[in-house]
Amino acid sequence: MNEMFGVLSLRNFMNRPDGWGRSEGREVYNRLLDFVEGNPGTIVFKVSLEGVRRLDMSFASETLVELARRYRRTKGFCLIDLADKDIAENIDAAAERKDQPLLIWEGKSARVIGANLSEGTREAFQFAMGRPECRAAEFATQKGISIANASMKFKQLWNEGFLLRRESVADSGGVEFVYQRIG
């Protein structure tokens, strides 16, 4: 597994192709948790939905959404191989309830489910999604806004679970944050 990115196949953690109900979800959640804890170097988990036939909102809430919420700001979880509209809708409903954003990747494009971007952070998010990682100063330069203003937007996106970040050393020698898209 790549140090930073890993693929997690949800079906491998399920007893059968359908995910139904909270109690079944909690069982699967514990298995997912063991897997994540067993891969401490992995920062972004691409969760593949391949082979999952059905999945209700309660199951999604106890598994994918709970996992993303638990690790918010430290690890990221995004969804891949998710062509089924019904499953996407159910994950969206569960994520919305917990105000937890999740990205669904289709090829090179992604869409957010589960939470809405505020008007003030939308452009910063789109900027971050256009590259694997970025600094607030880069966005500030492009938009002609202050670095403090840009930093505030990125911090909010990180805080709300839309982005990840890591510390880096700035040219000035101080600490700056490098923001990373999830996926």
> Which is nearer to another protein, 73 or 97 (by Cβ)?
97
> Which is nearer to another protein, 65 or 124 (by Cβ)?
65
Q: Cα separations (Å) of 85 from 24, 33, 64, 90?
A: 22, 26, 16, 9
Supply the minimum distance, in Å, between the C-beta of residue 139 and another protein: 32
| Contact residues: another protein, CB under 8 A | 16, 18, 20-23, 53-54, 56-58, 61, 84-87, 89-90, 93-94, 96-98
> Which is nearer to another protein, 50 or 89 (by Cβ)?
89
> Which is nearer to another protein, 104 or 134 (by Cβ)?
104
- SS3 letters for 95-147? HHHCCCCEEEEECCEEEEECCCCCHHHHHHHHHHHCCCEEEHHHHHHHHCCCH
* Cβ atoms within 10 Å of 108's Cβ, excluding its own: 5
Q: Which tokens in the block code for residue 170?
A: 């700035």
Supply the minimum distance, in Å, between the C-beta of residue 55 and another protein: 9
**Sheet of strand 5-9: strand arrangement:** 5-9, 44-48, 76-80, 102-106, 109-113
Supply the minimum distance, in Å, between the C-beta of residue 57 and another protein: 4
Supply the minimum distance, in Å, between the C-beta of residue 124 and another protein: 27
> For tokens 């959404």, what's the residue?
65
- The Cα 120–Cα 102 span in angstroms is 19
> Which is nearer to another protein, 23 or 142 (by Cβ)?
23
Supply the minimum distance, in Å, between the C-beta of residue 96 and another protein: 7
Q: Which among 102, 17, 15, 19 is positioned nearest to 57, based on CA atoms?
A: 19
